[in-house]
Amino acid sequence: MRRLRALAHVGPALAGRPDLWPVAAVMAARLAPQRWWRRWPPLPVPDASYWRFRMTTAYGGSGDATPAGKDVVEYLEWCRETHRASGRLR
């Protein structure tokens, strides 16, 4: 459920950044578990244990943090620049 709540924070932050939509789609595909459409709800969200790990490493605590939209935008900008430099974002 926390992962779905995070989508509610991220959506508005990304709405005004169409330049990051392709990057967000690529990263969502990379982070989604295989055959994500077979799990309920059928959304390409990361596995719960991976999400907890990422939230713990990013924000500390028990991993129950919800990322701020600004943080996700900065992460996607970083992904875009990093992958552009390596030629991997396609």
Q: What is the DSSP letter of 40?
A: S
Contact 53, 59 (CB under 8 A): no
Residue among 44, 53, 48, 50 nearest 10 (CA): 44
Name the pLDDT band for 3 (thresholds 50, 70, 90).
low
The rounded distance, in Å, linking the Cα atoms of 83 and 89 is: 5
The rounded distance, in Å, linking the Cα atoms of 90 and 87 is: 8
Does residue 71 have a pLDDT over 80?
Answer: yes
Tell me what pLDDT residue 85 has: 74
Name the pLDDT band for 88 (thresholds 50, 70, 90).
low
The rounded mean pLDDT for the chain is: 85
Does residue 35 have a pLDDT over 70?
Answer: yes
Q: What are the structural domain ranges in the chain?
A: 2-86
The share of the chain scoring above pLDDT 90, in percent, equals 34
Contact 65, 12 (CB under 8 A): no
